[in-house]
Amino acid sequence: MERVSERLGASTWRARDHVLERNVGIETLAADDPRATSFVAAARASTVVVDPRFLRVLDVLDDDAGFAVVVREWARAFPLDQLLRHGTLPNRRAALVVAEVALALASAHEQGLHHRRLTPHQVLVKQSGAVRIVGLGVAYALAPGPDVREDGRDPEREDVRDLGRLLYACLAARWPGGPTDGLRAAPTVHGHVLHPRQVVAGVSRDVDDVCDRILGDPPRHGARPLLTARDIAHELREVGDDVVPDEQPSMSHLDGSDLLRIDPVVVPAGPPPGLEPPRRRPKAYAPKPPTAWQRARARARLMTHGDRALVLLGLVVAVVLSGTLGWFAAQVEGDDGGYEPPSASEITRLPVTEVTAIDPEGRDGGENSADARLAADGSDATAWRTSEYFGSADFAGLKDGVGLVLDLGAQRELTSVEVRVGSGPTSLSVYTSSTRKSAPRSPVGMRLVASRRNVTGAVKMDLEDQVLSRYVVVWLRRVPEVRPGVFQGQVQEVVVRGRP
């Protein structure tokens, strides 16, 4: 065995199950510790919750050689508090992480169980973006506090508020209510916690509003408060679809070849590898730097009236010359039949050399891979389809999504992506990367360039900024119901346009 950490008097070890050939986590507490009875009772109680986001308790021993012992699954993942020490999460990623935690807690609440000590240290994030939660009931047994029922609150309400604090931490790397897990306390003014948008630049308004609807007392503008974990998950699934700025921390250097293993390895005690160090960010109230157009316009405003007249005259001359040259070129074309080969800057449909299905949280990393080529075969009559999922549009809560990787053969300048998804409402995102040398196995670390919610049929997404990429990922986040209780996504055709 290898001891990984010690916290609140309990030790966590990594051990090897030689029967099943897998790693397991073992948490031990001295059997004569006053908390030992509650510790093992909470661990046993947590086994009734079967949500896969919770690390399963495999065995519980009341007294083994003087120790109370809890044996759990082992996850190859990073505690969220370690990630947040390197910077905040992008809006969409923050929303999805907390949505996953909220769905897990909703399952626990339906069984009458509560976490009661939900902090970033209790949330594990895999390289694929999948979320796992530890400490259900057990964390509270190790650090008991006053019964919240004594002051009129209940454990479920406290879990809900902790979800709001967790979302705040993901957005601002601060913890409302005081320092926690190495994070500094959220700043306050006159006793009121500042909103994430007031603390950190780049927080989207819709995610900030969800945070306020959980923690606000009352929420701003008369908004309806979010009082259950399931309500929070529902709201967070539909927000944060803004393009991720380059200065947001990413996991782009993490190797996607082993995003999810059945038998994961130990969590490193030091800082997670591959994370970029936090970059300098603008202050929350600092104005954005002017664009090139704004700078040019400002210079024009400083000109004298005479200078402006010269500029205007120059523009008129340029327009006249442009028209004259255009007329002359047209006459030349007419002399040889009017044919002109397409210029290098002409926007065309870009050829796709290969299409691959990706499912980073699946068993084999793919999703009906044999049919992936049908999504770019030039025919709307054929389609790539996902597997069938039962219960909900978000893949039954089992994964963040599945998608397709389109290989354009070489790096191209992209101007638009059109996706035809069929007649059922589908939520999807498009990711690119200007630096990848090999096909991605997940969208983690790539740039989100477009996103749509609940679309049907063909949806064309124009890319506003210059986008250079060889690989294009079309990522399905929610899929339609094809039969009662059965959900399945499809992509009939993907058309990528740009300059060769």
Backbone angles phi, psi at 354, to 5 degrees: -160, 145
State the chain's mean pLDDT as an integer: 80
pLDDT, one tens digit per residue, over 7-57 is 888 999 999 888 777 889 999 999 999 999 999 999 999 999 988 899 999
Q: How far is CA 343 from CA 227, 348, 456, 500, in A?
A: 58, 11, 34, 10
Q: Are 474 and 421 in contact (CB under 8 A)?
A: no
Assess whether pLDDT exceeds 60 at residue 238: yes
CATH code, residues 78-258: 1.10.510.10
244 confidence band (pLDDT: 50, 70, 90): very low
Q: Give the CATH number of domain 348-499.
A: 2.60.120.260
- Predicted confidence at residue 50, as pLDDT, reads 86
How far apart are alpha carbons 266 and 194 in whole angstroms?
37
**Percent of all residues in the chain with a pLDDT value above 90, rounded to a whole number:** 54
1 has a pLDDT exceeding 50: yes
**258 confidence band (pLDDT: 50, 70, 90):** very low
The pLDDT, as a whole number, for residue 362 is 76
On the question of pLDDT at 384 being above 50, the answer is: yes
Superfamily of domain 2-73 in CATH is: Phosphorylase Kinase; domain 1 (3.30.200.20)
For 434, the token pair is: 């200007």
Question: Distance between alpha carbon 359 and the CA centroid of its chain, in Å?
Answer: 15
Q: Measured in Å, how far apart are the chain's first and last C-alpha atoms?
A: 56
Rounded average pLDDT over 248-261: 34
Q: Left (φ > 0), alpha (ψ -120 to 50) or beta: where does 240 sit?
A: left
- List the chain domain ranges: 2-73, 78-258, 348-499
How confident is residue 364, by pLDDT bands cut at 50, 70 and 90?
low
Least confident range of 61-65, 290-294, 306-310 = 306-310
Q: Is 182 left (phi over 0), alpha (psi -120 to 50) or beta?
A: left
Predicted TM-score of the model (pTM):
0.53
Report the range of poorest mean pLDDT among 125-134, 151-160, 377-386: 151-160
The reported pLDDT for the residue numbered 227 is 95
Measuring CA to CA, how many Å separate 487 from each of 10, 52, 179, 477, 490?
A: 43, 19, 42, 12, 10
Q: Return d(Cα 78, Cα 399) in angstroms, integer.
A: 18
Please tell me the predicted confidence (pLDDT) of residue 126. Answer: 84
Backbone phi, psi, residue 356, to 5° = -130, 140
Check: CB of residue 259 under 8 Å from CB of residue 127.
Answer: yes
Mean pLDDT score, 418-438? 92
Q: How far apart are CA 384 and CA 402, in angstroms?
A: 12
| Residue 499, helix vs strand vs coil | strand
Give the Cα separation of 500 and 412 in Å (integer).
6
pLDDT per position as a tens digit, 80-125: 999 999 899 999 999 999 999 999 999 999 999 999 999 999 999 9
